[in-house]
Structure 1
Amino acid sequence: MWDYTDKVMDLFYNPKNQGELEDSTEPGIKIAVGEVGSIACGDALRLHLKVEETTEKILEARYQTFGCTSAIASSEALVDLIQGSTLDEALKVTNKEIADYLGGLPQAKMHCSVMGQEALEAAIYNYRGIAPEVHEDDDEGALVCTCFGISDTKIKRVIRENNLTTAEEVTNYVKAGGGCGSCLATIDDIIESVRQESAAPSGNSLKKNTASQQAEKPLTPVQKIALIQKVLDEEVRPVLIADGGDVELYDVDGDSVKVLLQGACGSCSSSTATLKIAIESRLRDRVSKDLVVEAVEPSLL
């Protein structure tokens, strides 16, 4: 029997947030749903959020899960952590916080907390109508674990985010290697490649991280503006233009970046999400973690 904490057992035996939220007819209220996992793999979670559109506050959350004690307890913990918060605040919740809220989870059950975090992100991105980029196209990597359909990209992400060092830990977090076990040697190779990448990036890794490495060095105001413009032109604008929008750099004052949203982005109800997710998060990653992006109203120009 698993060594569960009293908190895990209490939430398992006394769940308060199971169920679903039906589409609301209330004005200014929207229901968002995020789903991860599959019944075929033994775990599935569907998360429902009731969101106040003007404030993006989560008024209520419910979940439906197919899984074990840890899956139910992790889902309950997730709802407790996010109810009453804004969507931006909820996005900061990590799988580690879910596990900590429960007083810890057995290592072999950590994938349940990861599933909760991913369902939350899926629900929020579905609400905002933005494709989730934070997971680096998990499904587009080479398939490593055929039993559970896990790609090398997802394995690398989880290794980096949780500082994993063994194939057993990877299995605990994403189940890869937990079926027939034929991919365990490949997972070991991936762990080693991530370790080498982190210790001494070279080749493609060096090229990939050039902008972020530049950001770690002190930048002059001119260098900062040039790097911001480069990231906008090469990484942000192509995505926005594909959706009928665009962005123009208006001003940079210290860590304050002012931009002008154009086209579909200027009139879109999700313009705040575009600013924070598509633009600010990218600039913070590539240039400086202290940057704050604001939109300039065309009427004020």
Structure 2
Amino acid sequence: MEKVNLTSGFILLAFSDLQYNHGALFSTILVIYTLTWTANLLLLSSIKLSPPLHTPMYFFLGILSVVDISFSTVTVPKLLSCILHGEAAISFHGCFLQMYFFLFLGVTEIFLLSVMAFDRCVAVCIPLRYTSLMSDKVVVILSISCWVAASLHSLLHTYTLSQLKYCEDRLIHHFFCDMTPLIKLSCSSTTLAELLIYTEGSIAIIIPFLFILISYVLIGWAIMKMKTNSSRSKAFSSCSSHLMVICLFYGTIIFIYFRPPSDYSSQYDRIVSMAYTIITPMLNPFIYSLRNQDVRQALKKLITQCFYDT
């Protein structure tokens, strides 16, 4: 078997081996992708144009919207092309560039969710020190740290997989260049790549998750000690949306990347991958908007102003 040269690239099969209604799937994904852009841009505009939302919590929420738009854009256009043509060619460099941004944005969201948990922990547990602890400088440092750490993580895995030898079978049974399908295509030793996934990859996901878990244990303890129901309700309301997003995102991530290799199924992986690459970025702004009174008021004001101006 020969190594794939850099000009030959790969073929993304997406769902070509499955029986499905191409028109219905294309239309559904296109609608979801359009809603992702629209909902996240509305949320971003509301945060920018509403002074009461110029706080660390909404600053991080704005970054999350940018990440969600970018995250879905990395995979959805190629998926739509796959559905239209049955499959889609992608160059060697294009494949690993897609992988880099996919990992970069996905891990950025993981780190960002942990930072948002820390922000809520400070706000609920020590509200009197919130302003000093979550200063503009701290917020910027935390945001940049998320981007830098995610970039290094993505670069490590992308470079490692790009150095593998890939056989003549260039068919990727997925709708984007993910790590596991590419490892399956390699005809050289994948020990290092798999070791990195289960060690460094696990650290990048589990440590933020433990940080989130500890933050919410402290938040729960602080809420239990509050004397009035209104205080408890307000504190819980500010955290519930974040908790829903965490459960939705982490649930699918753990299913995909933390299973024994013997349990690998390209069919199930493709379906579950759609949840966190396509559906979750669309749902996030709705979850935050519908469950947050401040965001709802800002959105209502923005929409009313748009109609009034026209």
Q: More helix per residue: 1 or 2?
A: 2
**Bigger relative contact order, structure 1 or 2, given CA contacts below 8 A and separation 6+?**
2
Q: More strand per residue: 1 or 2?
A: 1
TM-score using structure 2 length:
0.26
TM-score using structure 1 length:
0.27
